[in-house]
Structure 1
Amino acid sequence: MAFPSAVMLGDPDFVPVTRSGITRGVQALGVRAGDVLMVHVRLSALGWVVGGIDTVVHGLRDAVGPNGTLLAFCGWDDSPYHVKFWPETWQRAYDDLPPFDPAVSSARRDFGRFPERLRTWPGASRSGHPEVSFAALGPHASDLLTETDDPWGPDGPLGQLVALDGRVLFLGAPLKTLTLCHHAEAIADVEGKRFHEYRMPVGAEWRDYSTLDTFYGSLPYDAHGIDHPVAVLAEQAVQAGAAREGKLGEATTWLFNAPATVAAAVHWIERTF
C-alpha cells in the first residue's frame, strides 16, 4: 500500500514494514544467508510496506546475502493454456498473440506482484517453458532454471529446489498457492494422473505441449471431495513438521523445508490414490 489507512493514522504505536524489518522478520523465521529460497508474497497482507514490492525484494536479498538465491513461479500472463475450450472466434483472436519470450513476456498477474518484480530485477534469469516458467536471482539461478519437457518433474526447477535443499517462504500468501506441491504430484508413484495438452506460440511457430494438469486437477481429487488439493497437501507438510509459522507486519508467514514438504505430500498422495 502507498499510504497509511485511517486506522494506522489513529494508532501512534503502529510501525510500517521496512526493508530491514523484512530482513529481521524472515531471519527470525529461519531464513539463512546462502539459502535457495522460493518466495510467495501477498503484498496487501503485509500492510503498509515502505517502498512496496521493491522493498520486499531488497529485504529478502539482504536476508539470503550474495550467496543466496531467490526463486518465483512466473507462468505467462494470458497464456493460451485454456484456449481450446473457448468459442472459435475467441480462439482465432489468439492467432495474433505475441509469442512467448522469456525476456519479455509478463508473469501471470494473479500470482501477485513478486514474480514479475523478480523477473525484471537486474541480473535475474527465467526458464524457457511458456506455461511453467520460473524466475531466479542469485548464484544458483542456472542450477534451478533447467530446460526440460517435464517442468514439474525431478529435472525441473522445483526438483532442483529440492535437490539443493531449498526452502519456500510465504509472506501473507495463502497456503493453497504452495506451487511445490505440484512437484510432489509429478513424482508420486500413483496411476490416474491427468495431463493437459495445449499449443503455445514460441519464436516463429506454435508448439505442442503436454504437462501435468495443475489447473483442472492432476489427480481425481474431486472423487474424494477435495476442492483445494494444494491446501490439503500443504497441511500435510505442516502436520509433518516441515514448516514454521511466524508473523511479519500484519501477515502470517511460513517457511517450508522443500525436501520434507515434498516427502509429506508424496506420502499422502500415494496413501490416498
Structure 2
Amino acid sequence: MTQVQWITKDRILSDLKKLGVTEGMTVIAHSSLKSIGKVVGGSVSVVLALEEAVGKSGSLVMPTQTEQLCDPTVYGGGYSEEEVQIIRDGMPIFHPDLTPTSYMGFIPETFRKQNGVHRSAHPHVSFAAWGKHAAYITDIHQLNYALSEQSPLGKIYELDGYILLLGAPTDSNSSLHLAEYKQQNTFKKEVIWDVKIAVDGEEKWTTYQDINNSSDDFSLIFDDFNRDTNYVIEGKVGEATSYLVSMRAMVDYALNWMNNKRA
C-alpha cells in the first residue's frame, strides 16, 4: 500500500524559501490547495507559511473577487424575467468583511477572514492584503477601470512585487490585466458593468466603466515569457508545480506581446 505523504506548514515554508520567496517581498499569490497535496491544517497552514515567508516587513496579497454579485443576466444563467428581477431586488451589496469570494479557492477565502487582513472595497474585483503595505495596496480601489495602474495591482507593480503561482494555472495570473490597459490595439474597448452599491444610504444598481479584460491568452504569454527570459523561477511547493516571477518584468513583457500579437 502506498503511504500518503502529508505536507506540513514547515514543509511549505521550506519549499517557498527554496523557490525564492524571502522576507520583505511583496507577493501576490494565486493558489490551488488541492495541487499542494494532503496538507496538515489545510488552507490555514498554507496562509501561515506564506505570511511567515514574506515576514512582517513584506506583504501578501490575494485576489478575492465576487462574481456572484454581478447582474444575473451577465453570465447567461437562463433565468426568467421574473427571476432576474427577484435576484436584482434581493442581491446584497458587497461587504468587505462579510462577502465570500467566488471561484477563488479555499486559500484566499481563508486568508480574507484573518484578523489584520485588509480588503479593497471594489464590489466585483477586490483584493485582500496582509503585512507592511496591506493598507496602502487595498486603499482607494476605484470603481471604474478596476484593474488599472490605480488598482491594487498597480500598487504591487509600483512596489516591485512578485507573482506567485502556487499550483495555480498560468492563465490565472491577474497581474497581466495591468498590461491590457496600456495595449495599443483594437482589442481594448470599453464595456459597462452593472453593480449594486450604496448610494446616499440606499442600495441601488448602477454602472461602471472598464475595458474588456480577457485571460484567454495569458497561458501563451506566460509560456513565451518563460522561453524568452530568465525571470521565471520554477519549483515544487508540496506537490504543486509553482512559479515565482517579477511582476514588473512580466507585465512589461506582456504589454509588448499584446501590442504585437493581439488583433
- TM-score normalized with structure 1 length: 0.86
**CA apart distance, 1:205:** 2.0
Report the equivalent of 2:238: 249
Is the aligned partner of 1:98 residue 2:82?
Answer: no
What secondary structure is seen at the aligned counterpart in 2 of 1:56? Answer: helix
Structure 2 counterparts to residues 1-273 of structure 1, below 5 A: 10-11=2-3, 15-81=5-71, 83-84=73-74, 87-94=80-87, 95-108=89-102, 110-145=103-138, 146-148=140-142, 149-203=144-198, 204-214=203-213, 217=214, 228-239=216-227, 240-273=229-262
**CA apart distance, 1:116:** 1.4
**CA apart distance, 1:42:** 0.6
**CA apart distance, 1:77:** 4.7
- Supply the distance in 1 between the matched residues of 2:71 and 2:108 (Cα, whole angstroms): 19
Indicate conservation of the 8 Å contact 2:55/2:131, yes or no. no
Runs of at least 5 residues in structure 1 that lack an aligned partner in the other structure: 1-8, 219-227
**CA apart distance, 1:81:** 4.6
CA offsets per residue over residues 56-113 of structure 1, 9 Å max, x none? 00001111111111101111151225525554233212221111112211111x1211
Indicate conservation of the 8 Å contact 1:38/1:71, yes or no. yes
Indicate conservation of the 8 Å contact 1:172/1:252, yes or no. yes
- Supply the distance in 2 between the matched residues of 1:257 and 1:71 (Cα, whole angstroms): 14
What secondary structure is seen at the aligned counterpart in 1 of 2:195? Answer: strand
Considering only aligned residues, what root-mean-square deviation do their CA atoms show, in Å?
Answer: 1.8
- Supply the distance in 1 between the matched residues of 2:6 and 2:166 (Cα, whole angstroms): 15
Q: How many residues align?
A: 251
- TM-score normalized with structure 2 length: 0.89
Indicate conservation of the 8 Å contact 1:33/1:63, yes or no. yes
The list of structure 1 runs, each at least 4 consecutive aligned residues, that deviate by more than 6 angstroms after superposition, is none
Given residue 61 of structure 2, which amino acid in structure 1 is its aligned partner?
A: L
- Supply the distance in 2 between the matched residues of 1:235 and 1:188 (Cα, whole angstroms): 19
Given residue 2 of structure 2, which amino acid in structure 1 is its aligned partner?
A: G
Q: Residues 23, 76 of structure 1: CA spacing in aligned structure 2 closer, same or farther, 3 A cutoff?
A: same
**CA apart distance, 1:261:** 0.6
- Supply the distance in 2 between the matched residues of 1:265 and 1:28 (Cα, whole angstroms): 26
CA offsets per residue over residues 125-160 of structure 1, 9 Å max, x none? 111111111111112012211322222111111111
**CA apart distance, 1:242:** 2.6
What secondary structure is seen at the aligned counterpart in 2 of 1:104? Answer: coil
What secondary structure is seen at the aligned counterpart in 2 of 1:78? Answer: helix
- Aligned residues with identical type, % of pairs: 29
- Supply the distance in 1 between the matched residues of 2:148 and 2:63 (Cα, whole angstroms): 15
**CA apart distance, 1:189:** 2.9
